[in-house]
């Protein structure tokens, strides 16, 4: 594993209060701890105010200039007037990864019905995967736990690296003997 190229990961916390120094960035800390299981290098960990323009610009820089493999944002995914992370992300991605979004919400709803209010987005810009996570440490843990197992495969696909064959192949069910 030492000869593998490390994944380049950036963590961006969106919080007016944390950016102003009024509270600690606990969610960013949780992300850093959880992704330590990956073969990765943290290329950026920062706190920004809830500002769509600033976030859009930073996401472009992290993807295009810093060549991050993965950008994880935390915060700004709710229904509040300052919750602009999904809009900023949508403005810079090339395609959405709806399965990640759906998996996070489904897992979250199993914990609390409030998870259905999440507007978190996951998508790809160039070869960079961008995933929005909730702002609470608990929400980060629950959501990141769902996607963590698939991240190495997803990031290798984006790198266009050879992905090992799976143990089993998917075969669509036979249409014989079924009726519409």
User: What mean pLDDT is predicted for residues 32-39?
Assistant: 93
Q: Spelled out in words, what is the top-level CATH class assigned to the domain 7-158?
A: alpha beta
pLDDT digits (tens, 9 = 90+) for 100-148: 999 999 999 999 999 999 999 999 999 999 999 999 999 999 999 999 9
CA distance 84 to 68: 22
Residue 180 pLDDT > 60: no
Residue of higher predicted confidence among 20 and 171: 20
Distances, alpha carbon 151 to alpha carbons 7, 43, 48, 78, in Å? 10, 17, 25, 24
Tokens of 106: 């489904």
Tens digits of per-residue pLDDT, 46-95? 999 999 999 999 999 999 999 999 999 999 999 999 999 999 999 999 99
Domain ranges of the chain: 7-158
Quote the pLDDT of residue 3.
54
Buried (b) or exposed (e) across 20-42, using 16+ Cβ within 10 A?
eeeeebbbbbbbbeebeebebeb
Give the pLDDT confidence score for residue 43 in this predicted structure: 97
Whether 173 shows a pLDDT value over 50: the answer reads no
């Amino acid at each position: 594993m030492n000869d593998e190229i490390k994944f380049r990961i950036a963590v961006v916390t969106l919080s007016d209060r944390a950016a102003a120094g009024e509270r600690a960035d606990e969610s960013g800390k949780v992300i850093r701890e959880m992704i330590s299981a990956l073969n990765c290098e943290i290329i950026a960990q920062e706190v920004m105010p809830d500002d769509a323009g600033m976030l859009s610009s930073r996401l472009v820089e992290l993807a295009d200039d810093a060549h991050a493999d993965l950008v994880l944002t935390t915060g700004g995914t709710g229904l509040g007037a300052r919750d602009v992370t999904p809009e900023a992300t949508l403005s810079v991605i090339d395609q959405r990864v709806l399965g990640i979004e759906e998996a996070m919400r489904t897992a979250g709803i199993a914990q609390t019905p409030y998870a259905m209010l999440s507007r978190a987005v996951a998508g790809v810009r160039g070869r960079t995967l961008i995933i929005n996570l909730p702002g609470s440490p608990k929400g980060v843990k629950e959501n990141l736990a769902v996607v963590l197992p698939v991240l190495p495969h997803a990031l290798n696909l984006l790198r266009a690296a050879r992905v090992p064959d799976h143990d089993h192949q998917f075969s669509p069910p036979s249409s014989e003997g079924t009726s519409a």
